[in-house]
Amino acid sequence: MLRIGLGVTLTNWWDNITDYFGDKENKVARIILTIIVAIIAWILGRIVIHAATRGLRKGIPRRRRRVLGLGTKDVSTAKDLLQERLEAERRQRRARTIGVALRSAFGALVLTLAFATILTQVGIEVGPIIAAAGILGVALGFGAQSLVKDILSGIFILLEDQYGVGDVVDLGEASGAVEEVGMRATRLRSLDGTVWFVPNGEIRRVGNKSRLWSRAMIEIRVHYSQNLEEAHDALLDAAITATQREEIAPHVLSAPTVPGVESLAADAVVLRVFVQVQPGQQWDVERAIRAEIQHVFRERGIRLAFSENRVYVGDGSERLPTEEAAPKARRQPSK
């Protein structure tokens, strides 16, 4: 009997609610119901988006079988683990970027539908407004082609994962750290703090400087009079010492390498050192290596090349040193 009475009470309570909100004359109540439904839909949408982006953040490890498989070498396993960790960080950035875009688009959709429903409850016909908006959209479509181009480009940027929030990119006219990737424009902050808003449709090329990993590259110019083997060893020792510092070591992914002579300039021999580092950390590593190179080269007495400009002042009657040395050089027998 208690259960039957409780069921009847709940049924009557629900009938009263539906009758109250179903009354066409009760506009205030229906508007309140519309707002409540919109809020609930917005909350549920954010929950669904969060679940979707959480799955994107976790992803499916591509190399787990190779890492856990039998017979794999230690070096190969270490590389696989490093690649998996870098890919996980990349997935987190991509999930954060897509989550921001989806939440913005879904919020705009819910707000538009709720506003249209409230207009209907008030007594304003939405049909003519939608028809007029469609005609206006067709008219504006010819004049707003750049806007459509920006939105389509933004969708492909997100789908292709060209860059995401936190990446350091070069978009041609502007470069810096990505702060926001929208459907219409991308917001960057350059090194000097300038904020750039770049329309997605105007982006012709993308240079991502922090995709999975980065590379620190330092180029030095050694004087021709110096021993190349000593300069090579000094450069490598300086890079190793710098990357072993407590504040630099966590950002380093591989040991420094000096391939050899990169080029022969008119006044110098060019050497380079490369270090694979964490995304976006190449500049800190380069600064540390340069400071150590200056210290090591001065300590070992290795001379770096630099451009020299000599100015001779006279009345023109005196011969320049180069003019005096040239005949002597021509008189020397060739070996």
pLDDT at 170: 92
Distance CA(110)–CA(213), nearest Å, equals 39
Same CATH fold, 214-300 and 161-208? Answer: no
pLDDT at 77: 53
- In 3-state terms the chain splits into helix, strand, coil percentages (rounded to 5) of 60, 15, 30
pLDDT at 331: 42
Are 243 and 289 in contact by the 8 Å Cβ rule? The answer is yes
- In SS3 terms, 110-139 reads as HHHHHHHHHHHHHCCCHHHHHHHHHHHHHH
pLDDT at 112: 83
Query: According to DSSP H, which parts of 59-187 are helical?
Result: 64-68, 74-122, 126-143, 145-160
Burial class of residue 142 (count of CB atoms within 10 Å of its CB; 0-12, 13-18, 19+): exposed
* CATH number 2.30.30.60 given to 161-208: yes
299-314 in b/e form (b: 16+ CB < 10 A) is eeebeebeeeeeeeee
pLDDT at 66: 47
Least Cα distance to 200 among 183, 177, 175, 188 occurs for: 183
Write out pLDDT tens, residues 190-216: 988 899 999 998 898 999 888 778 889
pLDDT at 166: 81
Distance CA(270)–CA(256), nearest Å, equals 17
Residues of the chain with confidence (pLDDT) below 50 = 2-3, 5-6, 10, 61-76, 323-335
Name the CATH topology of 214-300.
Alpha-Beta Plaits (3.30.70)
pLDDT at 329: 39
Are 212 and 224 in contact by the 8 Å Cβ rule? The answer is no
pLDDT at 83: 61
Report helix, strand or coil for 64: helix
pLDDT at 72: 41
Task: Beginning with the edge strand found earlier in the chain, give each strand of the sheet holding 269-277 in spatial order.
Answer: 214-222, 269-277, 261-264
Domain chopping of the chain, boundaries:
2-124, 161-208, 214-300
pLDDT at 314: 63
